[in-house]
Amino acid sequence: MSSIRPREGNHKYPLIDCDPHASRVIRYMRPSDYATWAAYTAGTPAAFLVWEKIDHTGIRLRPQLYMGAWLGFCAGFFISYSRSSMRFWGWSENAREEARDLAELSQLAREGKPLYGVSSQPAWVQAAAHRNSQYSQLKFSLFPMLNLVNHPYHGTDPAKYGVKAEPDVLETQEGLRPGEKLGRFPKNSPENIAQGWKELTSKHKDSTSEQVQELMKSRN
C-alpha cells in the first residue's frame, strides 16, 4: 500500500506540505479566503431573497433563508479550505505560506519538538489517515474529508528545517523518517509475516510436545 505521489511536475511553486493537518490549512488561510467564505455564507440566502422578490410565492421565507445561510457557510468553508490547501501543494502562489512554514517549523526544530505534532494513534492508523486524506480536497463535492490526524508523511525533507536526528520509533515501525511519504511496509511484508507465523507455530509445537512428555512421565 503506497501513498499518492505529489504532482511535482504540474506546478511551478514549491511544495510545502502534501497532506497538511486541517488546523494548519485553516490557520494559513488568507483574508481573501475568509472573504470568499463570508460571501458564500451571505450570498446564498441573499440569492433566495432576490429570487423571492422577482417571483413572489407568498410562502414563509425564513426557513429557506436559514437553510441557505447554512449551505452557503459549508460551501464557502470547503472552497476556502481548498484554496488554502492548493497553496500547500504548490498549485498556486504560496510565497507567504512558504515563509511562514519555514519560520514555524524551524522554530520547532530548534526547540527539539516534532515538526508535525504528536499523535496518540498507532503508526498504522497514522499511515491509513494519510492515504485517505491526501488530495481529498479534490473530491469535497463527493465526500468531504479533512486530515485530523498528526502523522509524519508530508512529502518534504525535514532537513530544510534544521532537523538533525530522527526519532527511532519511526525507523523501527515503518522504516520511514518524518517528512517521507509512505511507500511500503517492509516490516509487514508477506515474507516477514510468513516467517513470523512459522516461528510462532514452531514454538507452539515445541511447547506442546514438552507438555505431552511431562504428562506421560507423571503417569508412569
Which one-letter DSSP state was computed for residue 4?
P
Q: List the grid coordinates of 182.
A: 509512505
Q: What is the mean pLDDT of residues 201-214?
A: 60
User: How far apart, in whole angstroms, are the C-alpha atoms of residue 16 and residue 31?
Assistant: 20
Distance CA 57, CA 53 (A): 9
Q: Please give the average per-residue pLDDT across 160-165, as a whole number.
A: 77
Q: What is the dihedral of CA 33, 35, 36, 41, to 10 degrees?
A: 130
* Section 9-33 average pLDDT: 91
Report the distance separating Cα 151 and Cα 164, nearest Å: 19
Confidence at residue 173, expressed as pLDDT on a 0 to 100 scale: 46
For the segment 139-148, the average pLDDT, to the nearest whole number, is 91
Q: What sign does the dihedral 49-53-55-57 (CA atoms) show? A: positive
Task: Please state the rounded mean pLDDT for residues 43-65.
Answer: 89
| Res 166 pLDDT > 70 | no
pLDDT range class, residue 116, cuts 50, 70, 90: very high
Q: What is the average pLDDT across 171-175?
A: 46
pTM for the whole structure: 0.70
Task: Say what the pLDDT of residue 185 is.
Answer: 44
Q: What is the pLDDT of residue 8?
A: 52
The neighbour count for residue 144, using CB atoms within 10 Å, is 13
